[in-house]
Amino acid sequence: MNQSTAGQKHFITGILLAVAAAVIWSGNFIIARAVIKDIPPVALAFFRWLTAVLVILPFAWKYISPAWAIVKQHKLYFFGISFVGISLFNTLVYVAGHTSTAINLALIGTTSSPVMSVILAHYFLKEHISWQRVLSITLCISGILFLLSNGSLYNLFHLHFTSGDGWMLLAALSFAVYNIFVRKKPVGISPVGFLFFTFLIGTVLLLPAYIVESTFSKPVNWSINTVAVFFYLGAGASVLSFLLWNRSIREMGAGRTALFGNLIPVFSSIEAVLMLDEKITYIHIISFLLIIVGLVVDNAGVRREASVVRHQS
């Protein structure tokens, strides 16, 4: 297999992995809105990651010992990536879910995070920003602003964020930082061992916040549906999707993989209409179009570049 064919294979694999992760992750925004009356936000995040730790434990068992030696050598790294990617990101999403619709959560969060990831990857990982990517970023930002301003130029110049919008932007930034951390993953640690320790550390870091929240908020309304929610989030939106996403980053690079997060609001919006009876307006449709066009522009004719990225990794 020549270098061009290998690069094409890695590129296609990376796309499929990123799209699969996006489909699974899209349900996270639906849940963020659907359970606001039954599960407080920090509790939702804490039990999600506790479930993820328990689900991945049998698969990670044989990797724990060798991974632990690496974790001890890179304590600050694992603290940082666990905090931003596990403890912080989804907790902020669930907080935002109390004041924003599922469609807006997905649009704002998953469109702004890839833009932030591309910029951070350029400055901290020296990933090249081509003119296609600049155009793609511009289109994505346009989609965000069009949504936030409700399609009004007057509103754009007098733009005010709701509390949910602000929390989602912070969540997006935390996940963008996570994408950068992943590219700096210490050599020698297995993907499963890596996820196990980031999930475990992130869960431990959430414990104090969960205890504080439990003191002031109503308790979790336990039921079969609640358990199903935690299992979906823990097994699917955590273990499986993170494995897919991290592998996609290896195949295509942090910047390009991050842009596929723009597909999440498309899937989330379809689910929100079907499950939560939310409405899609022309504002959302135009935002979707700007996002999709930006994604197509960024990935047009990139097979050769994907080969170079893979060769340098």
Hey, CA dihedral for 9, 256, 240, 291, is it positive or negative? negative
In this structure, what DSSP letter does residue 277 have? -
In which element (H, E) is residue 266 found? Answer: helix 264-276
pLDDT at 271: 76
Q: What is the DSSP string of 154-222?
A: HHHHT----HHHHHHHHHHHHHHHHHHHHHTPPTT--HHHHHHHHHHHHHHHHHHHHHHHHHHSPPP--
Q: Residue 129 gets which letter from DSSP?
A: -
Ordered by start, the domain boundaries in the chain are 3-312
Q: By 3-state DSSP, what share of the chain in percent is helix, strand and coil, each rounded to 5?
A: 85, 0, 15
pLDDT for 309 equals: 39
Q: Report d(CA 80, CA 198) in Å as an integer.
A: 9
Q: How far apart are the first and last CA of the chain?
A: 18
pTM tops 0.95: no
pLDDT of residue 183: 79
Hey, which bits of 40-114 come out as E strands?
none
pLDDT at 305: 47
Predicted local distance difference test score (pLDDT) of residue 45: 93
The pLDDT value given to residue 160: 62
Task: Provide the residue-wise pLDDT of the chain in tens; the chain has 313 residues.
Answer: 555 666 677 778 888 898 889 888 888 878 878 888 888 999 999 999 999 999 999 989 999 999 999 999 999 999 999 999 999 988 998 888 887 777 677 767 766 777 787 777 777 767 777 777 788 778 877 876 777 677 776 666 665 667 777 788 888 888 888 888 887 888 889 888 998 999 999 999 999 999 999 998 888 888 898 899 999 999 998 888 878 888 888 887 776 776 677 677 777 777 777 777 767 778 778 877 887 787 777 666 554 444 443 433 3
